[in-house]
Structure 1
Amino acid sequence: MKTTRRFFHPHSFARALVARRRSPGNDLILATILAAIAGAANAGGFFALGHYTSHMTGYLSQLADNIAILNLWVIGLSLLAISAFVAGAGFSTVLINWARNRASRQQYAWPLAMQGSFMLCFSFGGVLTGDIGRLFALSCLCFIMGMQNATITKISGARIRTTHATGMITDIGIELGRAVFCVLRPQAGLRVDAAKLRILLQLVFSFLGGGIVGAVGYSHVGFFFSLPLALILLGLGVPALLTKQL
């Protein structure tokens, strides 16, 4: 009897991850990859620019503080970061809805491919010097972060956000609190959502692992460490774009 061997095809795997018809497993795999990229890019943003570019709460707080003391430079920097993040989220939403109307099988491939393209641009941000280079790199990376958060939010039906570690850690705390309450009052009938807790822990550790890799990479290579991150994003999005639509 002949046995059929199944081979791993990267292009087919990438197309499955961004397909219109999705499974929770594919959502989790894609979210894990994107969380690692977000962690790496976020750490890289700090090493390259001195800013954590996924942390909009920090920029909003920074904006309030510096409005109070009339520090115009930091006010402008904070507004630029927030505006770029919002613009990235909006651009991702426009792309997804445009592709949904024209080529529904590519609706999630387009924003990932575009994120890869912008990440390529960020990798050459070090070529520009002075304040212009810093402003370009900051706005580019915040734009990418906004795109990614909006993309995974749309893909998962708002169940997952890969750049919003505060929300994920809060949810982990909630589940751990439920676990403690279950021990103290087992008769209350409260249950821990173990599956949700595993997903949250996986994403947080993926973000952390990506951050460690990004910190090491950017500290040794600089902006050009963004190139492999860009290639991963392009590798996720481009195969589906090259597939003939039926």
Structure 2
Amino acid sequence: MKRHRHILHPLQSARIILGHRRSAGADLLLATVIAFTAGAANAGGFFALGQYTSHVTGYLSQLADHLVVAEWWICLVAVIAIGAFVSGAAFCSALIHWARLHLPGRQYAVSVAVQGVCLMLFATGGWYEGAAWRLWCMACLCFTMGMQNATVTKISGGRLRATHATAMITDIGIGLGRALYRRHAPDAVHRVDWHRMRLMTQLVFTFFLGGVTGALGYARVGFGFSLPLGCLLLAMALPALWKYRQG
């Protein structure tokens, strides 16, 4: 019997990855791509701005510490970073709900496209100097990170995260603890979810790989390295938007 290999057209692939009908494979692939870009952008935030823009816990600690010693500028930076991250997540949620009603089948592609545009806006960070401009760049990147985390959270029904490495590593640690316990108590009720462990490990590694890529890219190119990251997200989103528009 003759066997046929089915190779998906890029438009079909984008529609599957960003479509409203979800599958575990599509969720994981999307989360992997976004985790990579988030890791790269996060490293870019440090090299360009001296801040890890996905680390909301760090900003909260920074706000508390510097509030006590009355260092108001640093407090303002932390408040803006946290506010931008929350605003990005809120905007993403509202955008997906709006697009579900007005652009059915394209709600996730719209969100990813906006993230690509935001990363391209961050590329303008090298145009000007000054604290206010750098603050705007930081807010833009934190906003994008909030959108990325919210997109993967909503699209996977809360199963996956894109930028929250702390939570993913915690899940891995919990799984390892269960595995060690079951070696000494094979009849234990709680079983190890090895599939989830592999997913979390893959996303953490992808975030790390993105960080290495971002560190190299931003060190050599500067803010302009955000352009290929934005193009990567737009390359995923625009074919899906066009496919749904056509069909």
Q: What is the match of residue 224 of structure 2?
A: 224
Q: Shift of the alpha carbon at 1:129? A: 0.8
Helix, strand or coil: the match of 1:162? coil
Q: For residues 226 and 192 of structure 1, do their structure 2 counterparts lie closer, same or farther at Cα, with a shift above 3 Å needed?
A: same
State whether residues 10 and 239 of structure 2, in contact with CA within 8 Å, keep that contact through their aligned partners in structure 1.
Answer: no
Q: What is the match of residue 31 of structure 1?
A: 31
Q: What is the match of residue 13 of structure 2?
A: 13
State whether residues 20 and 105 of structure 1, in contact with CA within 8 Å, keep that contact through their aligned partners in structure 2.
Answer: yes
Q: Shift of the alpha carbon at 1:8? A: 3.9
Q: What is the match of residue 48 of structure 2?
A: 48
TM-score by length of 2: 0.96
Residue identity opposite 2:57 in structure 1: T
Q: What is the match of residue 72 of structure 2?
A: 72
TM-score by length of 1: 0.96
* Superposed structure 1 runs of 4+ greater than 6 Å apart: none
Q: What is the match of residue 116 of structure 1?
A: 116
Helix, strand or coil: the match of 2:187? helix
Residue identity opposite 2:98 in structure 1: W
2:191 is the counterpart of 1:191: yes
Alignment: residue pair count = 246
Q: Deviations over 1:84-119 (max 9, x none)?
A: 111111111111000111122001011100000111
Helix, strand or coil: the match of 2:52? coil
Helix, strand or coil: the match of 1:105? coil
Q: Shift of the alpha carbon at 1:71? A: 0.3
Q: Shift of the alpha carbon at 1:5? A: 4.8
- Provide the rounded CA distance (Å) in 2 between the counterparts of 1:100 and 1:187: 46
Residue identity opposite 1:202 in structure 2: Q
RMSD: 1.4
**Structure 1 stretches lacking a partner, 5+ long:** none
* Mean CA deviation greater in 8-17 or 156-165: 8-17
- Provide the rounded CA distance (Å) in 2 between the counterparts of 1:230 and 1:176: 36
Q: What is the match of residue 86 of structure 1?
A: 86
- Provide the rounded CA distance (Å) in 2 between the counterparts of 1:174 and 1:7: 39
* Mean CA deviation greater in 223-232 or 2-11: 2-11
Helix, strand or coil: the match of 2:163? coil
Identity %: 54
